[in-house]
């Protein structure tokens, strides 16, 4: 299962499982990346905004020095919202920090503009402490700049993150290139079925983030997850990760703990009955509007997510 891949709309293959690096702590994320790649991971998810691409780059260099081949690894990173009007500059900064000539996938991290001339490179704030957002900016502008990168040789493909159905429906009619992926928060407590269905229809691959419920992995204790884990004789984490792969999606799990990184490679087959258990749980959460979105920066922008409108 560790070598399983899915085909993107570019024809390239993307691994089914990747290592996340958000909140990959300083002093730990280098060895986490190196450990993952030396132990069979083929996908690393990065972002300028995580502030650790230098150290992730050191981990990549260690893995390459040990014999892992660049062309066998799929690396994706993201343009941060202060760079959405300067996408190429954002890419150059990430490539330099990561020590790479190209990335396999470059993504719009969030469809909004944070003041490029604000009081911080990544998280500019107004005097009242709120985020320095340029309201009224059209998110499709960033996509035009993304499209212009495709022939540069510095990105093999482009995609988006955190695009709601509403935002995709605004983007797709003007897009010359259909995004290869939409990287979204996705787990049984936030199924986002309306986005998943639209992406499927348009040939946009889903990459699930925060599959364990992000910091502290709270979804491990969700009752149906625990039940299914007992039935299959695996850990709840294995269920939460396998859930995506069984549905044809890529899943990203973050850990800086070598044992957990290795354990998270354990993806098992889930059959229709297993998936139904989790789907029923999701349907109940949606019907009661008890979604859990763990990652939602306080931008003060309506992105069109039903759980936030």
Ligand X SMILES: NC(=O)c1ccc[n+]([C@@H]2O[C@H](COP(=O)([O-])OP(=O)(O)OC[C@H]3O[C@@H](n4cnc5c(N)ncnc54)[C@H](OP(=O)(O)O)[C@@H]3O)[C@@H](O)[C@H]2O)c1
Catalytic residues: 50
Stretch binding ligand X (CB under 6 A), from 9-17, 89-97, 143-151, 205-213: 205-213
Interacting positions 158-177 with ligand X (CB under 6 A): 161-162
- Indicate whether 254 belongs to the interface with ligand X (CB under 6 A): yes
Work out which of 209, 239, 278, 282 binds ligand X, going by CB under 6 A.
209
**Contact 267/245 with Cβ under 8 angstroms?**
yes
Interacting positions 135-154 with ligand X (CB under 6 A): none
- Indicate whether 237 belongs to the interface with ligand X (CB under 6 A): yes
Stretch binding ligand X (CB under 6 A), from 4-12, 83-91, 170-178, 254-262: 254-262
Quick one: 161 or 267, whose CB is closer to ligand X?
161
C-alpha pair distances (Å), 95 with each of 79, 81, 112, 138, 180: 11, 17, 22, 26, 20
Whole-angstrom distance, CA of residue 150 vs CA of residue 30: 29
Number of residues interacting with ligand X: please give it, by CB under 6 A. Answer: 29
Tokens of 89: 């500059």
Render 67-122 in DSSP notation, one character per residue: T--GGG-EEEEEE-GGGTT-HHHHHHHHHHHHT-S-BSEEEESSSS-B-TTSSSSS
> What Rg value do the Cα atoms of the chain yield, rounded?
19
Quick one: 103 or 253, whose CB is closer to ligand X?
253
- Indicate whether 216 belongs to the interface with ligand X (CB under 6 A): yes
- Dihedral over alpha carbons 132, 134, 139, 145 (to 10 degrees): -90
Whole-angstrom distance, CA of residue 288 vs CA of residue 299: 26
109 belongs to an annotated ligand binding site? yes
Q: Of 4, 11, 8, whose CA–CA distance to 40 is shortest?
A: 4
Interacting positions 258-287 with ligand X (CB under 6 A): 260, 263-264
Stretch binding ligand X (CB under 6 A), from 168-176, 195-203, 250-258, 284-292: 250-258
Work out which of 79, 199, 212, 228 binds ligand X, going by CB under 6 A.
212
Give residues in contact with ligand X (CB under 6 A).
20-23, 45, 109, 161-162, 183, 209-217, 237, 252-257, 260, 263-264, 295
């Amino acid at each position: 299962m560790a070598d399983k891949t899915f085909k993107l709309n570019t024809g390239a293959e993307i691994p089914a499982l990747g290592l996340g690096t958000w909140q990959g702590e300083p002093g730990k994320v280098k060895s986490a990346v190196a450990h993952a790649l030396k132990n069979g991971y083929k996908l690393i998810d990065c972002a300028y905004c995580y502030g650790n691409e230098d150290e992730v780059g050191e981990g990549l260099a260690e893995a390459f020095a040990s014999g892992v081949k660049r062309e066998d690894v799929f690396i994706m990173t993201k343009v941060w919202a202060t760079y959405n009007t300067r996408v190429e500059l954002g890419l150059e900064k990430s490539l330099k920090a990561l020590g790479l000539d190209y990335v396999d996938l470059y993504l719009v991290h969030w469809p909004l503009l944070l003041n490029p001339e604000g009081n911080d490179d990544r998280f500019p704030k107004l005097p009242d402490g709120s985020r320095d957002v340029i309201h009224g900016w059209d998110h499709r502008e960033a996509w035009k700049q993304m499209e212009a990168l495709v022939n540069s040789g510095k990105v093999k493909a482009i995609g988006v993150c955190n695009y709601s159905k509403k935002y995709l429906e605004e983007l797709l009619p003007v897009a010359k290139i259909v995004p290869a992926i939409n990287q979204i928060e996705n787990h049984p407590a936030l199924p986002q079925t309306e986005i998943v269905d639209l992406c499927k229809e348009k040939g946009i691959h889903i990459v699930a983030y925060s599959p364990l419920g992000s910091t502290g992995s709270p979804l491990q204790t969700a009752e149906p997850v625990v039940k299914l884990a007992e039935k299959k004789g695996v850990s709840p984490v294995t269920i939460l990760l396998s859930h995506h792969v069984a549905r044809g999606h890529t899943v990203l799990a973050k850990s800086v703990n070598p044992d957990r990184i290795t354990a998270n490679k354990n993806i098992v087959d889930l059959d229709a009955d297993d998936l139904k258990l989790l789907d029923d749980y999701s349907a109940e959460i949606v019907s009661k509007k008890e979604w859990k979105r763990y990652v939602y920066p306080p931008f003060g922008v309506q992105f069109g997510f039903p759980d936030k409108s």
